[in-house]
Amino acid sequence: MTFVADPNHGMPSVRESALSADLFEQGGKAEAVFHVEQGLAKLLRVHADGRETIVGLRSRGSFLGAAEALLSIPYAARAVALPRCRWVKLGAEEFRSRVRVSQALSWRVHEMQSREVYQQLVRLGELGGMQARARLWRVLQEIGAILGEEDSTGDVRLVIPLRQWEIAQLIAVTPQYLCRLISEMKSEGLLLRRDDGWTLHRRDAENLEVEEPSRLCHRPTPITRSAWTPRAAPRSCAPSVPPRAVARRSAR
């Protein structure tokens, strides 16, 4: 796929994947950064024996490959845009240049990286203090908030673009135990299997004690054209000193 800049506004154009699309490979040179505009992307860590481990999901507002581009190091994981994901691609050198001179873009990158650190801490805490069925429900709700359609009763219909082993890894259980959890939730009326996906019956999930708000589906500050457009470097933030004050100091 070819990525081009919008000649009218000098901004990168938005691309969308009808199917899953590889954005970059683990170990590859960090030549570009991908900003997720809509949908989901997944990060996969490839091991020496060829096995893959899903290490995270990224939603709207995420900059994939930003850390590697800023540090000029190879990509730490493989990034895959899931179906219906929309993204913007920006060259690594141009991204670094714009982060240096655009306060709005720099703040967005700080915000995103802080959120990712927070998510990792909460996830580690959940592994020791939250039951697996509650962790599963949390992941399903977060994916549903991004990709699902809510009806008048509060139920959510969605197609989950992840493999079963990937969901199992996200909640730190075996695929076999995940099947057991899904069967239990189906029998309790929490999940309903449909030909084209699943339905989450949220009104029946009060006993799961899943905390709010959602960590994955956040509403980041929108990136405006001015954030993408390079500007002159800001002047020093040091307070200005009146000339008379300078003269008095010199006399002393």
Query: Hey, what's the torsion of the CAs at 93, 96, 97, 98, to 10 degrees?
Result: 120
Average pLDDT of span 219-236: 49
Cβ-contact 223, 108 below 8 angstroms: yes
Helix (H) or strand (E) holding 90: strand 86-91
Give residue 223's pLDDT.
Answer: 54
Measured CA to CA in angstroms, residue 199 lies from 114, 118, 148, 157, 191 at distances of: 32, 29, 9, 4, 6
Q: What is the pLDDT of residues 94-107, one digit of tens each?
A: 999 999 999 999 99
State whether residue 67 is helix, strand or coil. Answer: helix
- Residue whose pair of structure tokens reads 């929490």 in the numeric block: 190
State whether residue 148 is helix, strand or coil. Answer: coil
End-to-end CA distance of the chain: 67
> Is the per-residue pLDDT at 204 higher than 90?
no
Average pLDDT of span 203-224: 50
Most confident region among 140-149, 151-160, 234-243 by mean pLDDT: 140-149
Complete domains list, the chain, with CATH: 14-124 (2.60.120.10), 131-208 (1.10.10.10)
Q: What CA–CA distance (Å, rounded) separates 118 from 170?
A: 16
pTM of the model: 0.74
> Is the per-residue pLDDT at 113 higher than 70?
yes
Nearest CA-CA partner of 29 in 76, 83, 95: 76
Cβ-contact 93, 41 below 8 angstroms: no
Average pLDDT of span 141-152: 88
Residues 6+ apart with CB under 8 A from 9: 225
